[in-house]
């Protein structure tokens, strides 16, 4: 659950006074998510999502996220739309936090994605990448390779209390990634956190993508690697190559992956696994007192990282054809 910051009815009424959203009928904290505080609002104009931005979201980045959601929606993507005040602003302050209201999207996120869900997700991710190509703003990925070492240093001392040998495995993997992280692959807007809880389905179709608060300018194929990690492992931690193939094929049907991109998957998947292992590890030791949040299990991503460290090559992810040698 994630409600780090509580909002009183009086505060909310006053905040809503700047909007044309009718009268507040009810509101409640949302029992999912770990990053920001989210509330479901019911007003005489319908349902909306109120988000109070917490520690990992810098206020200076909010204009990027708001403009990106508007840009993607204008290109036909189903993503939340920022609701503006009568004065035309989408960002405000509530309970001492930056805050915004966005439209509510219908659909249901899946806990156990099927092969079909993975295929549909791949297509939706590629559509997002294509729609973002002409987005004019840029945002550096603070949680890419140069952001991992500070996270590791923060958690290093206590890492082995979570799993024996964890600190050593991370140290070795991190050094290799720092030395060999790809920098020449196609870049653009990436979602960077497109986990199953951030994707809604209706009748087997992707009906909405949410939670753009890690979106940034980075390697497009890295976003695919994040999704392979988040969608294609089974509860017993085994990689499901049929799901991987469906995701990759779904993606490539909308945006083909170059030979260099395909060849980079083992490294990109290791990096993606390490990124979520590290943020989970830091969060594991840092749940704020009184917060309504259940931290996510770091060991899930430790297991995934070990899988990626052991793969023979891109074929293990479900690519049917991979170049033997890639020079670019």
Ligand X SMILES: N[C@@H](CCO)C(=O)O
Ligand Y SMILES: Nc1ncnc2c1ncn2[C@@H]1O[C@H](COP(=O)(O)OP(=O)(O)OP(=O)(O)O)[C@@H](O)[C@H]1O
Asked if 145 interacts with ligand Y (CB under 6 A), we say no
Q: Which is nearer to ligand Y, 65 or 181 (CB)?
A: 65
- Residue from 7, 15, 16, 33 binding ligand Y (CB under 6 A): 33
Q: Which two tokens stand for residue 100?
A: 């915004």
CB of 74 to ligand Y, least distance (A): 17
Footprint of ligand X (CB under 6 A)? 34-35, 193, 195, 276, 279-280, 296
Q: Which option in ligand Y, ligand X, none does residue 280 bind, with CB closer than 5 to 8 A by kind?
A: ligand X
The contacts of residue 73 (CB under 8 Å, 6+ apart) are: 79, 81
* Distance from C-alpha of 49 to C-alpha of 38, rounded to nearest angstrom: 7
| 3-class SS of residue 295 | coil
The contacts of residue 150 (CB under 8 Å, 6+ apart) are: none
CB of 315 to ligand Y, least distance (A): 31
The contacts of residue 267 (CB under 8 Å, 6+ apart) are: 177, 180, 181, 182
Question: DSSP state, 317?
Answer: G
Q: Which two tokens stand for residue 165?
A: 């040998």
CB of 127 to ligand X, least distance (A): 21
Q: Which two tokens stand for residue 172?
A: 């070795």
Q: Which is nearer to ligand X, 182 or 295 (CB)?
A: 295
CB of 321 to ligand Y, least distance (A): 34
Q: Which is nearer to ligand X, 15 or 148 (CB)?
A: 148
CA angle 56/59/64 to nearest 5° reads 95
Stretch that binds ligand Y, among 3-11, 98-106, 138-146, 152-160 (CB under 6 A): 98-106
Stretch that binds ligand Y, among 27-35, 135-143, 144-152, 171-179 (CB under 6 A): 27-35
């Amino acid at each position: 659950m994630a409600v780090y910051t509580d909002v009183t009815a009086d505060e909310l009424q006053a905040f809503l006074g700047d909007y044309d959203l009718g009268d507040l009928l009810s509101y409640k904290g949302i029992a999912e998510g770990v990053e920001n505080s989210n509330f479901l609002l019911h007003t005489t104009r319908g349902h909306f999502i109120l988000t109070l931005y917490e520690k990992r979201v810098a206020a200076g980045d909010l204009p990027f996220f708001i403009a990106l959601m508007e840009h993607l929606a204008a290109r036909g993507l189903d993503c939340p739309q920022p609701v503006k005040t009568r004065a035309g602003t989408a960002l405000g302050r509530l309970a001492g936090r930056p805050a915004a209201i966005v439209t509510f999207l219908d659909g249901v996120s899946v806990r156990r994605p099927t092969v079909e869900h993975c295929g549909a997700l791949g297509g939706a991710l590629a559509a997002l990448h294509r729609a973002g190509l002409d987005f004019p703003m840029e945002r550096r990925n603070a949680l890419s390779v140069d952001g991992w070492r500070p996270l590791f240093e923060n958690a290093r001392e206590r890492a082995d209390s979570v799993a024996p040998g964890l600190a050593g495995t991370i140290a070795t993997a991190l050094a290799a990634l720092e030395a060999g992280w790809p920098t020449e692959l196609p870049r653009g807007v990436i979602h960077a956190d497109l986990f199953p809880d951030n994707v809604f389905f209706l009748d087997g179709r992707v009906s909405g993508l949410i939670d753009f608060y890690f979106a940034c300018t980075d390697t497009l194929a890295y976003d695919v690697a994040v999704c392979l990690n988040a969608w294609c492992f089974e509860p017993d931690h085994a990689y499901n190559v049929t799901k991987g193939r469906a995701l990759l094929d779904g993606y490539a049907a909308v945006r083909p992956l170059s030979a260099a991109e395909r060849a980079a998957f083992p490294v990109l998947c290791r990096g993606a696994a390490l990124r979520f292992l590290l943020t989970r590890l830091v969060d594991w030791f840092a749940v704020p007192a009184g917060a309504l949040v259940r931290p996510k299990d770091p060991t899930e991503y430790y297991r995934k990282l070990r899988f990626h460290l052991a793969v023979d090559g891109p074929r293990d992810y479900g690519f049917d054809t991979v170049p033997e040698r890639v020079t670019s």
